[in-house]
Amino acid sequence: MLELQLTSGESESFFHLSVTGQLESAHFPMGPDGGGLFCRYDIVAGPDWELVSGLRSAVTQSARTESDYRTVVFNMPVEFTMKSTNPHGWPQIIFSLYGANIWNVETNRGYARVHCPLSGAGTERTIKAPLFIPKYSNLCSAAMSWLSGVNPELRDPKILADGSKHKGLACETYGELVVRLQAISRGSSRMALDWGQTAVDDR
């Protein structure tokens, strides 16, 4: 059982959320559109959340399809702990997938986002997050993108965590990321927070 050490009086002001799991794979119905895929993840949370341990962002190794031409396996661990005074701005993980096109030029292959699960005592969730690729609304730019094999990219993928910032974004979906996550909280009951699930004993 995961143990979180709290300093004197901290349990009354903060609750901790510990998330563990892995980015398992990317699945494409007709195979990936390109090779040498790698993925970056970024943790995004509200202003009251503070990262206590783990990495806020990380990048996987480059991977290719093997026996199953539709699946690219990453098996990248995801592990971090955050603390907050309230659940507003619940942590999300933004994934950015990249790979080489037919001209061997690195380009965006899709974005995905997932919310960290609510606390559950050792319960791991499998999340299948759709991959979407931004598209140019201008016909000329779209034609140039198709000819060059270079997809448009978001300057800051973290805006995907805020629906008001990417409203009206033109995109298409192809494929999905498979992510396995579990979460354990500590100190939430002392702050009168109830996730509707079993949490770690706060004693």
Please name each of the domains of the chain with its CATH number.
15-133+173-191 (2.60.40.150)
Q: Encode pLDDT of 20-49 as tens digits.
A: 999 999 999 988 877 789 999 999 999 999
Euclidean distance between CA atoms 42 and 137, whole angstroms = 27
* Nearest by Cα to 171 from 192, 188, 201, 151: 151
Asked whether the predicted pLDDT for residue 202 surpasses 70, the reply is no
Euclidean distance between CA atoms 111 and 94, whole angstroms = 7
Q: Encode pLDDT of 63-108 as tens digits.
A: 988 778 899 999 999 999 999 999 999 999 999 999 887 777 788 8
Residue 149 binned pLDDT confidence (cut-offs 50, 70, 90): low
pLDDT score, position 82: 96
Long-range contact pairs involving 101-105 (C-beta distance under 8 Å, separation at least 24): 101/33, 101/34, 101/148, 101/149, 101/150, 102/34, 102/149, 103/148, 103/149, 105/148, 105/149, 105/150
* Nearest by Cα to 177 from 141, 122, 134, 128: 128
Euclidean distance between CA atoms 38 and 26, whole angstroms = 10
Euclidean distance between CA atoms 42 and 131, whole angstroms = 15
What is the number of alpha carbons within 13 Å of residue 60 lying toward its C-beta? 26
